Amino acid sequence: MNPPDIDRLLAATLADQRLTGGEKTALADALGLADLDDAKRAFVRHRAFALARAESASPDAVTAIDWLEDVVKLLAPAPVAPLAPTADAFFTPGDDCVGAIAGAIRRLKQFADVCVFTITDDRICEPLLDAHRRGVQLRILTDDEKSHELGSDVYRLLSAGVPLRMDRSPYHMHHKFAIFDGVTLLTGSYNWTRGAALNNKENILFTSDGRLVRSYGRLFERLWDEFA
């Protein structure tokens, strides 16, 4: 099921700001809920929050959020024994970091939120553009000052239609993190530049720790709204 179909299904149940028992059953069947993996469940939750956020400007905001709570409960996976979060680290100089980042982008299934100080390495920009072309929903936050430097890929991404926002202040948006399919967090000192791979002593960390993924996800949403 593609993103527009998912939005239509969710919007139909949001119309009266209630998720009735019948709607829960119909939505679960239409989504194939029993067969959804964690990444697909995260994507549906992502779209439900987006719809509720759009509705929250209306007087019906409270009931819309109640609807959202019911949808999120429906999408919650059945309780299972918790798995230990996975983690991996990479370091520079060398191509380990850029290879790990590009590989994670190529494996994307549904969406990614990227928040990095600067993007100048085509070995990362190209996989981002490929992901965008195959329907992955991308959002990128970056520093406005760095976007004007020689070699920046910011306007290349913008011209391709990738949703991208920049800070508008004399200070730097200096974060370097990304969230892939709502289940994997990438963070560390590494800027997405060729120089960082060739010369700098940098690091990145991948983790599936849900607590950290959610914490960085909340930060991304705050910054996305702030840079609108």
181 part of the active site: yes
pLDDT for 83 equals: 62
Q: Which two tokens stand for residue 20?
A: 């009735």
- Is 153 among the residues known to form the active site? no
Looking at residue 108, its pLDDT comes to: 95
From 16, 73, 174, 225, the catalytic residue: 174
Which residue of the set 16, 181, 209, 225 is catalytic? Answer: 181
pLDDT tens, N- to C-terminus, the chain (228 residues): 788 888 888 988 888 877 887 788 888 888 888 778 878 888 888 888 888 877 776 666 767 776 876 787 777 766 555 567 789 999 999 999 999 999 999 999 999 999 999 999 999 999 999 999 999 999 999 999 999 888 999 999 999 999 999 998 999 999 999 999 999 999 999 999 999 999 999 999 999 999 999 999 999 999 999 999
Tell me what pLDDT residue 18 has.
79
Tell whether pTM > 0.85. Answer: no
Burial of 62 (0-12, 13-18, 19+ CB in 10 A): exposed
> What pLDDT is stored for residue 117 in this prediction?
97
What's residue 56's pLDDT?
73
19 by Cβ neighbours in 10 Å (0-12 / 13-18 / 19+) ranks as buried
Q: What is the pLDDT of residue 80?
A: 59
Element (H, E) at 186: strand 184-188
For residue 82, the model assigns a pLDDT of 57
List the chain domain ranges. 3-75, 87-226
| Whether the Cβ atoms of residue 114 and residue 166 lie closer than 8 Å to each other | no
Angstrom distance (rounded) from CA 222 to CA 122? 28
| Superfamily name and number for 87-226 | Endonuclease Chain A (3.30.870.10)
Catalytic residue among 176, 201, 209, 225: 176
What is d(CA 175, CA 117) in angstroms, rounded to the nearest whole number?
Answer: 6
pLDDT of 59: 66
What is the per-residue pLDDT for 225?
A: 94
